[in-house]
Structure 1
Amino acid sequence: MKAARLIRVTFSPALAHCQTFSSASTAPATKSGKKIHFPLVVIGGGSGGCSVAAKFCRRLGKGKVAVVEPAEYHYYQPLWTLVGSGLKNVDQSGRPMEAVLPKNCEWLKTRAAEFIPEKNIVHLQNGDQISYDFLVVAMGLQLNSVQVKGLSEAFKTDPSVCSNYFRETVEKTYPAIKNFKGGNAIFTFPNTPIKCSGAPQKIMYLAEEYWNKAGIRDKTNIMFNSALGVLYPVKRYGDRLLEIVKERHLTLNLKRSLIEIRPSKKEAIFQNLDEQGKTETYKYDFIHVTPPMSAPDALTKCTSLTDPTGFLSVNKTTLQHTKYPNIFGIGDCTNVPTSKTTSAVAAQCGVLEQSLSDAIAGKTPNGKYDGYTSCPLLVGYKQCILAEFDYDGQSLETFPIDQSKRRRSMYHVKKDILPPIYWNVMLKGHWNGPQRFRRLMHFGKDR
C-alpha cells in the first residue's frame, strides 16, 4: 500500500481554508509513523460516524474525509434484543465495515489513541499521526464489564449469565431463556449512562412471555434490579411500563447496582444506593446483565475535550464543541442530555450536517437539535410501546395515535421497518429522523 501523499487543491470559497487532502485510495491502513492530513476526520465508524462521513464525502469529494475505525464489522445493535429473544440471528445484525462506509472516504483501520485538540492532531494506535481542519467525534460507548467483579468469568463459564450488549454474549441469551426451568431470573440496569435505556427491560418482558407460554411462569420470580430511581425516565411511558410490571407480577428493585457475580455460588451482589456501604445478595438461576458503560478511554483522558463525567462536551443545540469550534460530536460519546439511541443519532445527523457546514463556510453554526430520541419498547413478542420524546421528556410521537399504548403495529415498525431504513437510508447519509413525517401526520405541527 502506498503511503498517503499531501496534495494542494483549490476548493470553492466556502472551503477555501481546507488546503490539503490525502490522495491515497480508499484503504484500511497506512504505514506506521506517517503524518497525514485531511480536511475532515471522523473518529468512529458506528451509526453516527458512517452517516456523517457519507454526507460529507458527497460534499467534499473523494479522499477528503477520513474515518478512523478498527472494527471489521458494523452491527445494528438495536436488533440484538430480537437476537436475544430468538426472533433474529446475530448474522442478520451485521455487515462488513467496508460495505457500510462511503466509498469515497479513507478508512484508517485503527483506533484513536490520543487527542491533541490544541494542535488539531489525533495520534492513532498504529503510530500514525493524523491532522485535520475539522473533527467529528463519534466514538460511541465503551462497555466496562470488568467493573463488575467476576462478570467476565461468568460470561465464559456460566450459561445462565448473559447479556444482549456484547457480540460475544448476545447469542447466549435465547438458549439461557429456553433452558431456564424456574427460580430467580434477574435483569439489571447499571449505575452509569448506557446505550438504549429501554433495552435492559425489553428482554425481561420477552423472557416473561416465553416462560409463561412454556408453563413455568408460576415457578419463576422475575426481578428488575435497576440503579435508577424510576422504571423509565420519561413519565408518560414509565407509567405504562409500570402498569405492565404490576400486571405481570414482576418485582421492581430500584437503586440497586450490580457490583459482583459469583458464578460458583450462583450469587449476584448489589450495592444499595440508598444506604452507603450496604450490599444485598441475590441468588440467581438466570441473569441478564447490562454492563457499566462510559465514553472510551482515549476520549476521557483528554480532559480539555470532556466534561467532568468524561463525555465529549458539546453545545446541546448545535453539537459544536464548547471549547474548540472546529470539533463536533455526535451520538453516545457526547454529553447531550438525552437517551443514547440510534434514533437520537439520526436526528443529530441533520443538525450536525447544518452546523458543520456552517463552520466550514466560516459562519456561526445554526443547528437546532431539540433532544429528539426514540425507544421502541418491546413488551412482548408482538407488542411494542414506541417512545419518542425531547430534552424535556415531552412526547414527539410520529404517528397520530397514542404511542404509549401497546401496539402490534409498532412492533412491526421496530422489527421490519427500522432495520431497512438504517442499512439503506441512514448509513448512506439520507436519514435525519422522522421529523418531516411527524409534521405531515400532524398537519404541520411537531406534536
Structure 2
Amino acid sequence: MRSSRRLLANCRLLVVGGGSSGLGIASKMARRLPKGSVTLIDSIQTHYYQPGFTLVSAGAMTLEQNRRKQKDLIPTGVKWLEQRVKAFQPQANAVTTEDGSTIEYDYMVLCTGMEIRLDMVEGLAESVKDESCPVSTIYLPHFAEKTNRLLNTIEKGNFLFTFPSTPIKCAGAPQKVCYIADDILRTRGVRSACSLHYYTTLPRIFGVEKYANALMKVVKERDINLHTRHALKKVDGKNRIATFENLDNSSTVEAEFDFLHAGPPCSPVSVLRNTPSLTDANGWVDVSCQTLQSTKFSNVFALGDCTNTPNAKTAAAISSQLKTVEKNLSDAIDGKPFSSQYDGYASCPLVLGASGKRAQVILAEFGPNGPMESFPFNQSKPSYFSFWLKRYFMPFLYWHGLIKGYWNGPSLFRRIVAPLKKNQK
C-alpha cells in the first residue's frame, strides 16, 4: 500500500472511469499536461462500443466488431491503475481503491458512467440470465446476442418492449429494438402472427416533438401498439407474464408475452450512491450543466452518464462535453476564467431496421431547445444515408476520434453547413 501511495503521490489529474468519456478526457489532457501527469483508474479489461449493441440485435454487426482490449486503448503517457474506487474523499482530494490503497490528486474528473439495474424490476435479472426464457435486453453485450437469437426463432405471439421510469443510457434504444424486431419478423414472413407492443413511461414516444411526430408515423405504418405512462414492475418468466404500473392512476396491468425486451432501469454506480458529498439526492454527480464543474468542489469535474445534467445520456453528448471539460479544466489548472460552456447537445440515431428498404434511420440531434441538426436535409425523415452513418461511420468515429480525444462533436460542421440549410428553406 505504501508503494502505491509513493507511486501516485504526484497525481496531477485523476480520471475515474475508463469508458468513452474517461478515455476521451484522459487522451485530451495527456496531450496538454506533462508526461505522467494523468492517471486513469478502472478495472475493466474489455471495452465495448455500446451504441453497436442495437445492431448486434439486428444481426447487422457482431459482438466482436464492437469489442476491444482495454489495454490497447489506454492513451500514451497515461498511467492505468487496474483497480476500482471503493470510496471518494473529496474533502481530502483522495480516493481509496478496493485493495486499500489511497490515491491523492490535484484535480479529478469523474467518468463512472451508470449502472444497469436489472434488480430494480422483480424477476427481470433471473429471466434475462435464463437462456431458455424469452426475456432479454441489448443493454448488456451478451444479451444483445440473445435478443437476436430470440427474434430469429420465435414464430408468433405477443412481443413486448419497455422503457423505464429512471434515467437510461441511450433513451431511444428500447424502441429501436421494437423496430428491429418488426423488420426481422417481416423478413422471416411471420409478422402477421405477431403482435408488437411498446410500453413507455413517457407521455409520448420520444421527447422531442419533431422526431416524435415522425416516429408515430412509423408506429402506425407498422401496426405497433403504443402504451404510454406504463412502467414494468415484475417479470414472471416461467408463466410469461409482465406486470406494469399505470403511472397516471397507480393501477397494475398484466400482459402475457412470448418475447420481452426490457429497457432496464439505470442508476449511478454504487460508490457514487454512497458519496452524498459529490452528488445530488439521487446519486448523480452534481455539476454545473454549462461548465461541468462540480457544484461542491472546484477541482472536480464530471462528464458522461454519471452527471445530473439534463441532456440525454448518449455517446454524442459526451463528444460535446469533452470539449467543455478539456477547456475548463485547463483553465482551472492555469488559474483562468472558464472559456467553454456545454450546449446540451445529444443525438440518437433511431434505427428502423437493418435489411432491404427498412435499413433506415431517423437521425435525431437535439438540445434543450429542440432539434440541433447537422445536415442540410430533414433528419426526421427515415433515410439509408443516416443508416450508413450509424452502421459504418459512427463506429469508426468512436474508435479513432471520440475515445482518442479528437472528436468534439458536430458544432463546427453545423456552422459550416448552416448556409446550405438557409438555402434549403
The answer, yes or no, to whether TM exceeds 0.5 is yes
RMSD: 1.8
Q: Deviations over 1:179-217 (max 9, x none)?
A: 111110001111100000100001110110111122211
SS class of match (2:352): strand
**Structure 1 counterpart of 2:419, one-letter code:** F
Between the aligned partners of 1:100 and 1:403, the Cα distance in structure 2 is 33
1:265 aligns with 2:239: yes
Q: Deviations over 1:398-445 (max 9, x none)?
A: 111110100100000110101111101111111101111111111399
1:109 aligns with 2:91: no
Structure 1 counterpart of 2:173, from 199, 202, 215 = 199
**Structure 2 counterpart of 1:402, one-letter code:** N
Normalised TM-score (structure 1): 0.91
Task: Name the structure 2 match of 1:423.
Answer: 399
**Structure 1 counterpart of 2:308, one-letter code:** N
Between the aligned partners of 1:289 and 1:61, the Cα distance in structure 2 is 46
Q: Percent identity?
A: 39
1:182 aligns with 2:159: no
Structure 2 counterpart of 1:171, from 145, 153, 164 = 145
Superposed, 1:331-342 pairs within 5 Å as 331-342=304-315
1:391 aligns with 2:403: no
Instruction: List alignment gaps of at least 5 residues for structure 1.
Output: 7-21, 23-34
SS class of match (2:245): strand
Deviation at 1:104, TM superposition (A): 1.1
Deviation at 1:51, TM superposition (A): 0.4
Contact 1:142–1:293, Cα closer than 8 Å, also in 2: yes
Instruction: List alignment gaps of at least 5 residues for structure 2.
Output: none
Between the aligned partners of 1:105 and 1:444, the Cα distance in structure 2 is 42
Structure 1 counterpart of 2:125, from 148, 152, 169 = 152
Task: Name the structure 1 match of 2:414.
Answer: 438
Normalised TM-score (structure 2): 0.95
Contact 1:159–1:172, Cα closer than 8 Å, also in 2: no
Task: Name the structure 1 match of 2:63.
Answer: 90
Structure 1 counterpart of 2:261, from 271, 285, 288 = 288
Between the aligned partners of 2:168 and 2:9, the Cα distance in structure 1 is 34
1:76 aligns with 2:52: no
Contact 1:84–1:171, Cα closer than 8 Å, also in 2: yes
Deviation at 1:62, TM superposition (A): 2.6
Q: Deviations over 1:75-106 (max 9, x none)?
A: 11000000011111101101011111102111
Dislocated runs of 4+, deviation >3 Å: 1-6, 443-447
Number of equivalences: 418
Deviation at 1:5, TM superposition (A): 7.2
**Structure 1 counterpart of 2:168, one-letter code:** I
Moved more, 211-220 or 90-99: 211-220
SS class of match (2:174): helix
Task: Name the structure 2 match of 1:239.
Answer: 213
Task: Name the structure 2 match of 1:344.
Answer: 317
Deviation at 1:165, TM superposition (A): 0.2
- Pair 1:164–1:399, CA change in 2 (3 A): same
